[in-house]
Amino acid sequence: MSSLHADEAFLAHYQFSHDPFAPRVPGFKFFPAQRKPVLGQLHHLARYSNLLLAVTGPLGSGKTLLRQALVASTNKDVVSSVVISGRSAADEATLLRQLAQGLGITQTGVEAILTKVAQLAITGHDVYLLVDDAEQLRDGALEVLLRLAAGNSEARLHVFLFGEAELLERLEALSEGEERYHAIELQPYSEEETREYLAQRLEGAGQDGALISDDLLGDIHEQSGGWPGAINQVARDALIEAMLAERGKARKAPAGAGFSLPKKHLAILAVVAVGVIAAWFMQGRSGKTEATAPATAQSPAAPQADGQKPADGSAPAVEFAGSNQPLPLPLVGEAQPVIREPMAQAGGQDDPDEGALPSAMIPPTVSTSAPPVTPLANTGPAPLHPVPNAPVSSAAQPVAQAPAPAPQVEPVRPAEPAAAKPAPAKPVAKPAAPAVASAKPAPAKPAAVAAGGGAGSEWYRSQGGSRYAVQVLGTGSEASAQAFIRQQGGSGYRYFRKSLQGKPFFVVTYGSFADRASAVAAIKSLPAKIQASKPWPRTFASIQQDIATTR
């Protein structure tokens, strides 16, 4: 249901004014009760804490909505808010430049920004810096934000980061054991909050919340885990599936049940049906006349024995000479291929607007006439090798002659049924068994993972906790981690398994370094493609802790 027609069919079926499950619906604001304490906690920490505040949750958990609520609930007379996206300001220079533009200054240094914040503090103004998609920030940009949040003796910046859970691991590595940030993890909706959320979505699109039954609501909540983004996707898929099932039942309904056409169309169909029947009737009469006329003209009456007519008064029996002889088959030159339409085209296809998949295309069937074959009275199995033509006497009449381009073939007199025997077939030599066995390719053995790679490897536990590794990749698929290591040649790359939000998560690391500076220097020597994914150094102590908690 991704095409424009499919979307229109979806909206028309449920009479929606717009797609109620779109990611961004103008004017839609749903803030459940459990988010209100989180919002109050953010205001409290911004006023009394000197730490950077990080709000984490999976994709589609409502982080952006919480950020919007935080900006909307601040007092504009005493708070100036600057909102930046981590996708557009991933590096340190771009981040400082956008922050300086938001404060109305030209200098982009950390000290210049703190000086401006101090000037605003004198007038009773605080500055809030809110960063969406903070997991996209590089380590240099995160380090700058930690410095701005700590501030100096004159002023500090209130920094709020909204990102996914991996953001906390990077902040922990940059903090190096110091208390420099405070984390708040969002929780999924309860089933009742899911009900209220869907009801508000449907009402905004012009429908009633009763469109989703209690059973369907339970399934949606269970499959989505209570996260708003997943709720939208699962609910949309469920309604589309129900729509397709309803249309499928309508197509399978018996003839005459609910089927109606306008009177104008019925009249046209009636006229066409009468014309077809009349044409068929006239064609049948004409065929009978043509079939009877030649038989009467070409069949001379044979005198009956003793000059008497048959007792039943019917016409004299007609006997054709040579009727016991087999008829010659048509020549190759006279055969014409008959090409039929694909069955998929003749039968029609499903309507794509109804969400049905297109029918499988069936290749056209091509039938041709068989090549000329000498008629045989005994139809035995066809010989595997060509049978040479038998010598023909000069008195034999030719049955058929091949066309000019083909080699001349002498006509063969049809043999008597008793003499017609097919030539014995020569056995076909079978290939030797070893040759068949050797033709089969040996099954390819899966490529081994790079040395040292393996979830829960003892190698990580053997490293000193103060040493550093470079984390280059995190994925929920172990096969992806192994494939990545194979692509890099396996030199220095390993991976371990951890648990992230109750699910297995596989982390690929590179090297083992004595200190953080060596790990940062090693990042610059990695391939450009890996550097683009923003690898970052972390201690083996944190890795060992992840492995221990997983076990």
From 82, 44, 85, select the one nearest 64 (Cα to Cα). 85
Residue 343 pLDDT: 37
Q: What is the per-residue burial (b if ≥16 Cβ within 10 Å, else e) of 29-56? A: ebebeebeebeeebeebbeeeebbbbbb
Mean pLDDT to the nearest integer, 411-434: 43
Q: Which residue has tokens 């424009």?
A: 4
Predicted confidence (pLDDT) per residue in 182-198, tens digit? 999 999 999 998 998 89
pLDDT over threshold 70, residue 307:
no
Classified as helix, coil or strand, 411 is coil
User: What pLDDT is recorded for position 433?
Assistant: 40
Q: What DSSP element (H or E) covers 345?
A: helix 343-347
Q: Is the pLDDT of residue 105 over 70?
A: yes
Map tokens 């990042």 to a residue.
523
Residue 438 has pLDDT above 60, yes or no: no
Cα 400 to Cα 328, 371, 383, 397, 546: the distances in Å are: 7, 12, 22, 9, 88
Q: What is the 3-state secondary structure (H, E, C) of 238-299?
A: HHHHHHHHHHHHHHCCCCCCCCCCCHHHHHHHHHHHHHHHHHHHHHHHHHHHHHHHHHHHHC
More confident residue, 211 or 412: 211
Q: What is the mean pLDDT of residues 220-237?
A: 90
110-155 per-position pLDDT tens digit:
999 999 999 999 998 899 999 999 999 999 999 999 999 998 888 8
The Cβ-side half-sphere exposure at 271, using a 13 Å CA radius, reads 5
Hey, which of 101-115, 339-353, 519-533 has the most confident mean pLDDT?
101-115
Q: What is the pLDDT of residue 113?
A: 93
Taking 60 as the threshold, does the pLDDT of residue 454 lie above it? no
pLDDT confidence of 86, banded at 50, 70, 90?
Answer: very high
Q: Return the DSSP state at 487.
A: H
CA distances (Å), origin 469, targets 11, 325, 442, 539: 52, 94, 40, 6
Looking at residue 262, its pLDDT comes to: 66
How crowded is residue 538: how many other Cβ atoms within 10 Å of its Cβ? 22
Structure tokens at 262: 């306008």
- Work out the angle at residue 504's Cα, subtended by the Cα atoms of residues 503 and 505, and round it to the nearest 5 degrees: 115
pLDDT at position 551: 57
The answer to whether 100 and 112 have CB atoms below 8 angstroms apart is yes
Q: What is the pLDDT of residues 318-346, one digit of tens each?
A: 444 444 444 444 444 444 444 434 333 33
What per-residue confidence (pLDDT) applies to 284? 66
In sequence order, the 6+-apart residues with CB closer than 8 A to the CB of 191 are: 217, 218, 221, 226
pLDDT at 53 over 60: yes
Give the per-residue pLDDT at 474: 85
Say what the pLDDT of residue 440 is. Answer: 40
DSSP state of 338: E
pLDDT of residue 100: 93
The pLDDT value given to residue 167:
93
Residue 431 has pLDDT above 50, yes or no: no
pLDDT above 60: residue 33: yes
pLDDT, position 5: 54
- Give me the pLDDT at residue 436, please: 35
Q: What is the mean pLDDT of residues 484-502?
A: 84
What number is the average pLDDT over the span 290-313? 44
Q: Which residues pair with 433 in a beta bridge?
A: none
* Structural domains of the chain, with CATH: 4-20+191-251 (no CATH), 35-185 (3.40.50.300), 458-550 (3.30.70.1070)
Instruction: Work out the pLDDT band at 455, boundaries 50, 70, 90.
Output: low
Which residues have C-beta within 8 Å of that of residue 196, sequence separation ≥ 6? 30, 32
What is the pLDDT, as a whole number, of residue 60?
87
Mean pLDDT of 231-252: 85
Residue 28 has pLDDT above 80, yes or no: no
Give the mean pLDDT of the chain.
73
Q: What is the pLDDT of residue 34?
A: 77
Q: Residue 314: is its pLDDT beyond 60?
A: no
